[in-house]
Structure 1
Amino acid sequence: MSLDEKTAAAQAAEPHRRPPVPRWLLGLGPLVLIAIVLGLFSLLNAPGLAKLSEGVPPKEEVAVEDIRLTPGQIEISVRNEGPDPVSIAQINVSDYYAPFTQTRETMAPLESTTLTISYHWVEGDPYEVALVTSLGGKIPADIDAAALSPERGTSFFGLMTLLGIYVGVIPVALGMLWMPFVRRAPAAWVRVLLGLTVGLLAFLAIDATLEAVELVAGNGSFGGPMVVFLGAATAYLVLEGTDAWMRRHQNLSAAGQKAALPPQRLALLIAIGIGLHNLGEGLAIGSAYAVGSLALGASLIVGFAIHNTTEGLAIVTPLAKQPPGLARLALLGLIAGAPAAAGALIGATVYQPALAAFLLGVGAGAVAQVAVKLLPLLKDHTGRTFTPLTSAGIILGLAVMFTTGLLVQA
C-alpha cells in the first residue's frame, strides 16, 4: 500500500470532527439565556413570590431636587427614588393647603415631576412646605428665606459666564504670575513648592469628595453617594490609561516608564485636574444662584479669587526648569479656569444633584491622580520623597487651602 493510500485510510478511520464553536457565540450565549430568564421572571410577576408582598405598604421615597420662586407661585421639582410608584395628592405651605398642578400625576421609579403651587409668598419670609403623598406620607421642602428666582435669559447666562471668569479664569491667571519666582528658586525650594502643590491638590480632592457626598446624602436616586466614587474612579483610571497610552505612543523605554512625567505633560495634567474640579465648583455656584441661595457680593468674589489663586501656582511649579511660551501658559490657564464658567451655566440651567455629585467626584479623582504623579518629583539626591522640606510643603498646601476656603461662604 502506498503512502497516500495509508494516509487516506487513516483519515477515513478517524471520527468526524465538528467545527469549533465561534468564541463570540460562547460569550454571547450566557447573556442571551440570562436575558430570557429575567424576562420570563418579570413577565410572570415572580412566580411563587407574590405572597411575600401581601399586606406590605408601598415604600415611598421622594427627593426634592429644585425649588424656584416666581411671583405668586412656587415650583418644586421632585424625583421618586424608591421602588414603588408615588403620587403627590396635597401640598401644605405653612399650615395652608395650596392648589397646585403637576407635570406627572404618578411617578414611576426614578421619574420626576414639577409641582407648580399657587401661593402668594412674601420675600424674606421662611416657609414650611410639605408634599403629601396619596398614602399620607410627607416630604419636606422647606424654604429658609423666600427670594425671587432669576429669569434665565441672555443677561442671566452672561452673568453666569462673568461669574465663572471671576472665580475661575482670573484667579488661576493671577496665580500663574509666580512663574518668574519659581524659575529662579533653588532646587530645594522647588521641592518645597512641589510639596505645596501636592497639598493643594490633596485638599481639593478631599473637599470635592465631601461636598459631593453632602449633595446626595439624602438622595438615593441614581445610586446616591456611590456616584461620587464612581466619578472619582472613572477620572483616575481614564487619566492613568491616557498617560500609559501616551508613554507607549512615544516609545519610552522600560526604565522611562517608571520615571517622573515630563514637566510639560505634568503641568497639562494638573491643569486638566484643576479644570475638572472648577467645573464642579462652578456647577455648585450656578445652582445656588439659580435658587436664590447665593448672595453675590465683592467679598464672596474676593474669597473665591484668593482660594483659587493658589491653583495657578500648582500649574507652573513643575515648569521651573522648562518654562513654556506665553501661548502655552495661556492655554494651561484656560484649561484650568474656563470650566468654572461652563459649570456655572450648567448649574444654573439643568442642575441635578446626582449629576453635580458625579462631576465633583470626577474632579476629585482627577486631582488625586495628578497629586500621585507629582510624588516622584519630590525626591531629593538621596531618593527620599518625604523629607522635612517636602512634608512641610504638603502641610503648608493643606493649611493654605483650608484657610482661604474659610473666606468662601457660599
Structure 2
Amino acid sequence: MSTTRSLRLPTWLLACASFAGIVVVLGLLLLLASQSLPERTGPPAEQLAIERTVLSPSTIELTVRNTGADPVRIGQIFVNDAYVAFTGATEPLPRLSSQTLRIDYPWQEGQPYLVSMLTSTGAVIEHEIGAAVETPPAGGGVLALMALLGTYVGIIPVVLGMALLPVLRRSGPTVVRILLALTVGLLAFLAVDAALEGLELAAESGGAFGGSLLVFLGAGLAFLALTAVGGLQRRRSAAADPDRPNGGRLALMVAVGIGLHNLGEGLAIGSAYAVGELALGAALVVGFALHNTTEGLAVVAPLAQQRPSVGRLAGLGLVAGGPAILGAVVGVAVDNAGISALLFGVGVGAIVQVIVQLAPALRNQAGKILDPAGVAGLTAGVVIMYVTGLVVTA
C-alpha cells in the first residue's frame, strides 16, 4: 500500500508568486497600451492650485502646485491687468510639483487684487486676494501669540467645563444618562461642523492630493485607529461590570476625540491669523470660552460615578484642549488647505468613533436609547453647541 504526498508551496512563496505575476501582467498591459493607443489630442490640460499667499512690503509670493495632467510653464503675470516682473517658475512645472513665485508689486493694505498667470500655451489662471494684509513672519513672537491663543480657546474653557464634575457626582442615574446623551449630541454637532469645514478647505486646496477625499481618508484612518486602541483598552480594562463601558476609558476617548477636533480648530485660527482674517480680542476669547466649556463637561460626564485624581483630570484637560495650541502654531506657520482638510477629517473620524463608544451607555433599563431622557439630552447638546457657536467670531 502506497501513500501519495501532495507537494504544497509555502503560503508566503505562493503570495509572492501571485504578486509578481500581477506586476508582470500590468507592465505588459502598460507597454501594449502606450504603443497601440493614440496620443491625446487637443490643448494641454493646465491647472494650478495656489496653496499659500504671502504678502510682504512690495512683494507678493504665491506657492503654486500643478494639479493638472500636463506640465505648466508660466510665461507672464499680471496684477489688476498690469504686467509685473516675477521670479521663479523658470522650468515647466510637472504634475503635483510646486514652486514659489515672487512677484514685485507695490500693493496697498486693504485693497483687493487679481493675479492673472498666463501660461506658455495662452491659458490664464487667476487668483484673487480679497483684501491685502501683510503676512506676519513666523517668528518667536507670533508662535508665542498662537500658543497663548490656543491656551485661551482650548485648555482654559475645557478645564472650566470639567470643574462641574462635583455637581455631576451628586446627580442621579437619569441625570447622568441625560448628560451622556448631551455629550453625544455635542460630539455629533462637532463632527458635522468639522466635516463641513474640512470639505470647504478641501475645495480650496485645488484637489492636488484628492480634494474632499482627504477629509474621508483622515476620518477613516482615525476611526480605525481609535477602534483598535479602544479594543485594546477594553481587553485591559478591569471594569467590575463587563456589560457597561468603563468611565475612565470613555472619558479618555472623549478627550482624544475633542482634542483632535480642537487641533483642526486651532489650524483654522492660525490660518485665519496668517491671512489677516482673525479678529483678535475679548470677543474671540469669550466666544470660544462659551463654546468649548461644554466640551469640558463632555469629558467628565463619563466620570460622574467616579473620583478621579486631580492629576488624571489635568491630563484629560490637556488631551482635550492642548491640541488647539499645536494647531494654531502649525496653522500660522504652514497655512496649507490640504493638510488642514486631512486633519479636520481625522477629527471627524475620532469623534464618530467616540460616539460609537458612548452609545451603549445611553441605554435605559429597557435597553432603549431614544427614550424621552435620551432625546432631551441629544437635542440639548446640539442646541447648546449651535447657540454658543453663534458667538464665536473667528
Same fold (TM over 0.5): yes
1:294 corresponds in structure 2 to 278
Q: Which of 131, 150, 169 is the matching residue for 2:136?
A: 150
User: Which of 42, 48, 56 lines up with 1:62 in the alignment?
Assistant: 48
Measured in 2, the distance between the counterparts of 1:317 and 1:243 equals 18
Task: Show the counterpart of 1:139.
Answer: 125
Structure 1 unpaired stretches of 5+: 1-6
1:200 aligns with 2:191: no
Contact 1:41/1:47 (8 A) holds in 2: no
Task: Tell me the CA shift for residue 137 of structure 1.
Answer: 2.0
Partner amino acid for 1:388? P
TM-score of the superposition, structure 1-length normalised? 0.91
- SS in structure 1 of the partner of residue 163 of structure 2: helix
Partner secondary structure for residue 65 of structure 2: strand
Distance 1:262 1:252, change over 3 A: closer
Alpha carbons 1:104, 1:112 under 8 Å: kept: no
| 3-state DSSP of counterpart to 2:298 | helix
Q: Is the 8 A contact 2:279 2:393 kept in 1?
A: no
Aligned to 1:389: 373
Please say if residues 67 and 76 of structure 1, whose CA atoms lie closer than 8 Å, have aligned partners that are also in contact: yes
Partners in 2 of 1:251 and 1:43 — Cα distance? Answer: 59
Partner AA of 1:100 in structure 2? F
Bigger Rg, structure 1 or 2: 1
Distance in 2 between the 1:181 and 1:210 partners?
A: 34
Matched ranges for 1:353-372 at <5 A = 353-372=337-356
Deviation at 1:246, TM superposition (A): 2.6
Whichever residue aligns with residue 166 of structure 1, its letter is Y
| Aligned counterparts, 1:235-314, within 5 A | 235-250=222-237, 256=242, 259-314=243-298
Q: Does 1:174 align with 2:176?
A: no
What does residue 76 of structure 2 align with? 90
Paired residues of 2:274 and 2:335 also in contact (CA < 8 A): no
**RMSD after superposition:** 2.0
- Report the alpha carbon displacement of residue 345 of structure 1 after superposing the two structures with TM: 1.2
* Structure 1 Cα separation of the partners of residues 348 and 107 of structure 2: 39
Question: Secondary structure at 1:234's aligned position in 2?
Answer: helix
TM-score (structure 2 length as normaliser): 0.94
**Change in 2 beyond 3 A, CA 1:153/1:269:** same
Deviation per CA, 1:346-380: give whole Å up to 9, x if none: 11122322211111011011111111211221222
* Contact 1:260–1:373 (CA under 8 A) maintained in structure 2: no
Classify 1:353/1:30 alpha carbon distance in 2 versus 1 (closer, same or farther; 3 Å).
farther
Partner letter of residue 280 of structure 1? Answer: G
* 1:34 is the counterpart of 2:18: no
Matched with 1:341 is: 325
1:8-19 alignment, distance < 5 Å: 10=2, 19=7
Letter in 2 for 1:248: R
Corresponding residue of 1:4: none
> 1:139-169: CA deviations, max 9, x gaps?
2211111111101111111111111111111
Distance (whole Å) between structure 1 residues aligned to residue 304 and residue 389 of structure 2? 27
Counterpart contact for 1:104–1:113, Cα < 8 Å: no
How many matched pairs? 393
| Counterpart code for 2:263 | L
Contact 2:233–2:249 (8 Å) recurs in 1? no
Match of 1:222 among 187, 194, 209: 209
Counterpart amino acid of residue 246 in structure 1: Q
Deviation at 1:272, TM superposition (A): 0.5
Contact kept? 1:66, 1:291, Cα under 8 Å: no
Deviations 1:113-161 (A, max 9, x none): 1111000001111111122222222222111111111011111111111
Counterpart in the other structure of 2:310: 326
SS at match of 1:92: strand
SS state at 1:97 partner: strand
Secondary structure (helix, strand or coil) at the match of 1:78 reads strand
Aligned equivalent of 2:8:
20
Partner AA of 1:86 in structure 2: V
Which stretch has the larger CA shift, 378-387 or 115-124?
Answer: 378-387
Q: Does 1:404 align with 2:394?
A: no
Letter of the aligned partner of 2:234 in structure 1? R
Distance in 1 between residues matched to 2:31 and 2:60, nearest whole Å = 41
* SS at 2:117 equivalent: strand
